[in-house]
Amino acid sequence: VRSAAIEDFLELMYPTSECLPSMDDLVHSVVRRPKEDSLLFVNQNWVEYTLNSVTWRLGCITQTIPLKGDDGETVCFYSIANTDTLLDPDQVRAPKDGLIHVFGYRPWLWQQWALLKIENRIRFQAKHERDFAIFDVTSYAFALWDQWLDSPSNADFRAVYDSPRLCKSARGKLIRHVFQ
């Protein structure tokens, strides 16, 4: 006889096939235009979420809770099915499979290339001019992204990326995922 806690744990860690989204569900979570700019996702969107900053899991948003901060900016928190924690926007991202279906694999190939470029740029070598030098990795990565987007050899991806059929938030979801 299993206790309720064990049943809950098994349901969370090992979902059944009835709990899994279709590819249409994943794509819809990427391309859906939110009604408010402060919302990345809405109820019933499938997302990847993390509770420990290491493991990303697939889950469905059951509730969005927008809260105004002291600075007047609205931050949206998300409740995911089978979890008991409210997640902030940094703990939620678009599902990779949905992004790949919309944008293709190229952004992840770029990600690997950019990581190699960054690794080559950072030095921990005695007597090297860049040994422990202050280096803004984020700015460098965004410069690499812009360089890649503007490359003539990447015009077909750029056409998809800039497609009027995709909303600004879909492009933002791609960038958030690739840069995390």
Instruction: Supply the pLDDT for residue 131.
Output: 66
CB 94 within 8 A of CB 77: no
Instruction: Supply the pLDDT for residue 66.
Output: 85
Q: Is 59 helix (H, G, I), strand (E, B) or coil?
A: strand
Per-residue pLDDT of 82-135, as tens digits, reads: 788 889 888 999 999 999 999 999 999 999 999 999 888 877 777 777 666 677
Phi, psi dihedrals of residue 106, rounded to the nearest 5°: -55, -40
Residue 150 pLDDT greater than 90, yes or no? yes
Instruction: Supply the pLDDT for residue 21.
Output: 82
The arrangement of strands across the sheet holding 46-50 comes to 86-87, 74-80, 56-68, 46-50, 92-93
Q: Is 79 helix (H, G, I), strand (E, B) or coil?
A: strand
The C-alpha atoms of residue 101 and residue 25 are separated, in whole angstroms, by: 11
Residue 1 pLDDT greater than 60, yes or no? no
Per-residue pLDDT of 11-39, as tens digits, reads: 655 556 566 788 888 888 888 776 766 57
Spell out the CATH class of 4-95.
mainly beta
How many residues in the chain?
180
Q: Which two tokens stand for residue 32?
A: 């859906």
CATH 2.30.30 domain extents, the chain:
4-95
27 versus 144: the higher-pLDDT residue is 144
Q: Is 129 exposed, middle or buried (0-12, 13-18, 19+ CB in 10 A)?
A: exposed
Q: Is 12 exposed, middle or buried (0-12, 13-18, 19+ CB in 10 A)?
A: middle
Q: How many CB atoms neighbour CB 9 within 10 A? A: 13
